[in-house]
Structure 1
Amino acid sequence: MKDYLSDDPDDGCIRRIKQGDADAFEAVVYRFERPLRAWLATLSPPGVDADEIAQKSFIAAYTRIDEFEEGTNFGAWLFSIARWQLKTETTRLRRIADYHSRYAPDLLQKLHGEAEVEPEHLMTQVGHLKKCMASLSQDLACLLKWRYYDEISLEEMARLSERSVPAVKKQLWKLRRKLQQCLEQRMEGTIT
């Protein structure tokens, strides 16, 4: 890896990028694309797309370029970002696999027992859930969108919302609990 990092972009190139010259970043991508993808391919477990992680790493580096200290090793900084992107992705995949291995048998058993659930009942639940979601504040709706529609990592959500990762986790937990309670109350008819 050291060979790849010895030919860093000069400070002038980094300065131009920091000043908003997006074209200057093209030289950085050209310089590091192949080594970064090759390095990620050697570290990526099955199921992880090294090319996608490299792409996310370049995007993260570009959006966080102001955090880079000129005069330090840009290649090392970029590879560090890539390492964290890879770690985030493998954690996400591990979480999904763990969820499925833990809950799939229970869900299948539950679904088997509820095979006679009427579509009208499910549609009612969906309608109530939409109303619950519509009642959320803009901040909470944004967190919900980031996590479940955009599939943004907790670390990125923390950065975007200027909170710590534990604070984001706690907020998501409260949000899911609030939606569950709202849905249950609407299904019971205690709120409309």
Structure 2
Amino acid sequence: MDGSTSLDEYIRRVVDGDLNAFAEIVRVYQRPVRAWIVSRCPPGSDADDVAQKTFVVAFHRIQEFEVGTDFRAWLFTIARFQLMAECTRLKRLADYHSRYVPHALSQELDRRAAEAAEEPSRLTHLRECLKQIEDNAREVLDWRYTSELPLAEIAQRTNRSVGAIMKHLYVLRQKLHECIEQKLAEEAG
């Protein structure tokens, strides 16, 4: 604030609708309010958001401020209430998550249990489908998925490029997938 205009004058101008006067008040008090909020903010809260809400509330309630009293105390009281509201919001959110997560986990476990009931027939069909694959192709699958060999080593063992091995594995996976799906359809039909 410039030396010729007092805080009380800026407040009167804000009450009369001068937004630039409020911008000047924010400029002067923004750092101390934010610093106060940051020093008291719990983890997970947004101090800048609380500070912004503080100034929004102060703007909307500025006509309630008694000119000549301690504006800083009034503003920091608003900041305290905004911080308390943020803490309440975070507690509600934590409470919600503490109740929701076990429910979601239970649903996911139920879903996986239902999938697992289908797995024995899928595994049986996979074994049958693997028997239909040529020996050298089954050997490549075994190297990759049982022995977990890198593609480069498989390529070296087969005298092929890594790209060719990637394509070959893709084609083999597609064939196995189609074979399993066909057997499941026959089983269901």
Residues 56-75 of structure 1: pairs in structure 2 closer than 5 A: 56-75=53-72
Residues 42-53 of structure 1: pairs in structure 2 closer than 5 A: 42-53=39-50
- So what's the TM-score if we normalise by structure 2? 0.53
1:23 and 1:67 map into 2 onto residues whose CA distance is 19
Secondary structure of the corresponding residue to residue 44 of structure 2 = coil
Where does structure 1 lack aligned partners over 5 or more consecutive residues? 1-8, 117-192
1:51 and 1:93 map into 2 onto residues whose CA distance is 15
Match of 2:104 in 1: 107
Larger Rg: 2
Match of 1:15 in 2: 12
Secondary structure of the corresponding residue to residue 99 of structure 2 = helix
Residues 135-154 of structure 1: pairs in structure 2 closer than 5 A: none
Residue deviations 1:22-66 (CA, integer Å, cap 9, x gap) = 100112111111111111111011111211111111111111111
Match of 1:29 in 2: 26
1:107 offset after TM fit, Å?
A: 2.9
Which structure has the higher relative contact order (CA within 8 Å, separation 6+)?
Answer: 1
2:10 and 2:97 map into 1 onto residues whose CA distance is 46
1:114 offset after TM fit, Å?
A: 5.8
Matching residue's letter, 1:74: F
Matching residue's letter, 2:56: I
Q: Percent identity?
A: 52
2:28 and 2:82 map into 1 onto residues whose CA distance is 19
Would you identify which runs of 4 or more consecutive aligned residues in structure 1 move more than 2 Å? 110-116
Q: Quick check: 1:96 aligned with 2:93?
A: yes
Quote the RMSD (CA, aligned, Å). Answer: 1.8
1:78 and 1:34 map into 2 onto residues whose CA distance is 13
Matching residue's letter, 1:106: H
2:45 and 2:104 map into 1 onto residues whose CA distance is 26
Aligned residues: 108
